[in-house]
């Protein structure tokens, strides 16, 4: 069965946890889809994990479309949600609508995600009215890294926690179909999840959320850089890959690879004639 905004809403009602992973390419998206993931998030985190930037601020609409297209080709049953990158929706509602449209038309996304609360509610409402579902994103919103002074937990004091609750209620009212809660205290995320009728998708926000999302490279150990506390490593593929690359180098140098079984044959007679 295909995952949609409707099935995701039903999962919240049924207390069936929503599973989301980031994906940036066809092959990985296909594997996640086959494993039964509910949604694939083409996150602007691709700027960091795929393109090697220090933050997500340099990611362009063209970057997002390029990766979204690839993920969409690999998605069968999973819903594809693609991030609106930094400055593609903040300037105006018109920009937001136009760029959300591009992510659907060109990137083949089923929904878009943007960061922020009350300040982006006009955008959420306009995009939703154009029949493009919007996932909101609160707490540690990485596009605000410079305003936050780094990647840090959000909503720990009374004022900040209250503000996140108000923002969550506001994005729901504006029409968002779900909201990502990133790096907020678990009890606050649990409280927000009980206050909202739309699903919450947590990352570093504890088990009280209606669903979870993780960055693919973090949960597979493929990203060499700093790994946040919440990024459980389910496997260390990075180490396996490094070992395989090392073996390839060694076996190529010592002549063990390629072996006979990896090669194609030709009649010796032909070779003899060629040598003459
Ligand atoms: O870009 C991303 O990967 C995200 C998730 C961490 C929610 O926005
Ligand atoms: Na993102």
39 within 8 A of 79, measured Cβ to Cβ? yes
Which ipTM was obtained for this model? 0.99
84 lines ligand 1 (CB under 6 A): no
Asked if pLDDT for residue 24 goes beyond 80, the answer is yes
Percentage, residues of the chain above pLDDT 90: 97
C-alpha distances (whole Å) from 260 to each of 49, 184, 210, 264 are 38, 57, 54, 8
What SS3 state is found at 162? helix
pLDDT of res. 275: 95
For residues 218-222, give the mean pLDDT: 95
pLDDT of res. 4: 98
pLDDT of res. 180: 98
99 lines ligand 1 (CB under 6 A): no
Residue 45, CB half-sphere, CA atoms under 13 Å: how many? 21
> How far is Cα 243 from Cα 248, in angstroms, rounded to an integer?
9
Task: Quickly tell me which residue has 């919240």 as its tokens.
Answer: 12
What SS3 state is found at 136? strand
| pLDDT tier at 225, thresholds 50, 70, 90 | low
Catalytic residue among 182, 256, 269, 272: 182
pTM attached to this predicted model: 0.96
Binding-site residue positions: 44-45, 83, 113, 115
| pLDDT tier at 223, thresholds 50, 70, 90 | confident
Both tokens of 14, joined, read 């049924």
Q: Where do the structural domains in the chain lie, given as residue ranges? A: 5-235, 240-275
pLDDT of res. 228: 86
* pLDDT tens string 31-85: 999 999 999 999 999 999 999 999 999 999 999 999 999 999 999 999 999 999 9
- 182 assigned to active site: yes
Provide Rg for the chain, Cα atoms.
22
Percentage, residues of the chain above pLDDT 70: 100
| Summary mean pLDDT of the chain | 97
126 lines ligand 1 (CB under 6 A): no
Closest by Cα among 193, 222, 190 to 45? 222
For residues 125-133, give the mean pLDDT: 98
* pLDDT tens string 159-202: 999 999 999 999 999 999 999 999 999 999 999 999 999 999 99
For the CA of 215, the closest atom of ligand 1 is 3
| pLDDT tier at 265, thresholds 50, 70, 90 | very high
Residue nearest to atom 4 of ligand 1 (CA): 43
Overall CATH class of domain 5-235: alpha beta
Return the minimum-mean-pLDDT range out of 12-16, 90-94, 198-202, 226-230. Answer: 226-230
């Amino acid at each position: 069965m295909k995952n949609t905004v409707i099935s995701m809403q039903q999962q919240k009602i049924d207390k069936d946890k929503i599973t989301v992973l980031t994906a940036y390419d066809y092959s990985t998206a296909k594997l996640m889809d086959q494993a039964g993931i509910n949604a694939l998030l083409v996150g602007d985190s691709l700027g960091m994990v795929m393109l090697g930037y220090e933050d997500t601020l340099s990611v362009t609409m063209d970057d997002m479309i390029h990766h979204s297209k690839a993920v969409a080709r690999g998605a069968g049953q999973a819903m594809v949600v693609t991030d609106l990158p930094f400055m593609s929706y903040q300037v105006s509602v018109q920009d937001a609508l136009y760029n959300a449209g591009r992510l659907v038309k060109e990137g083949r996304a089923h929904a878009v995600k943007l960061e922020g609360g009350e300040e982006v509610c006009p955008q959420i409402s306009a995009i939703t009215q154009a029949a493009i579902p919007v996932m909101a994103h609160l707490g540690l919103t990485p596009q605000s890294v410079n305003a936050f002074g780094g990647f840090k937990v959000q909503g720990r004091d009374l004022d900040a926690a209250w503000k996140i609750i108000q923002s969550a209620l506001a994005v729901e009212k504006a029409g968002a179909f779900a909201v990502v809660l990133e790096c907020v205290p678990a009890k606050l995320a649990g409280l927000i999840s009980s206050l909202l009728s739309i699903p919450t998708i947590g990352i570093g926000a504890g088990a009280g959320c209606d669903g979870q999302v993780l960055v693919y490279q973090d949960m597979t150990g493929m990203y060499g850089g700093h790994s946040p506390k919440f990024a459980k490593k389910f496997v260390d593929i990075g180490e396996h890959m490094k070992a395989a690359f090392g073996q390839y180098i060694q076996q190529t140098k010592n002549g063990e690879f390629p072996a006979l079984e990896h090669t194609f044959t030709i009649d010796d007679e032909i070779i003899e004639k060629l040598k003459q």
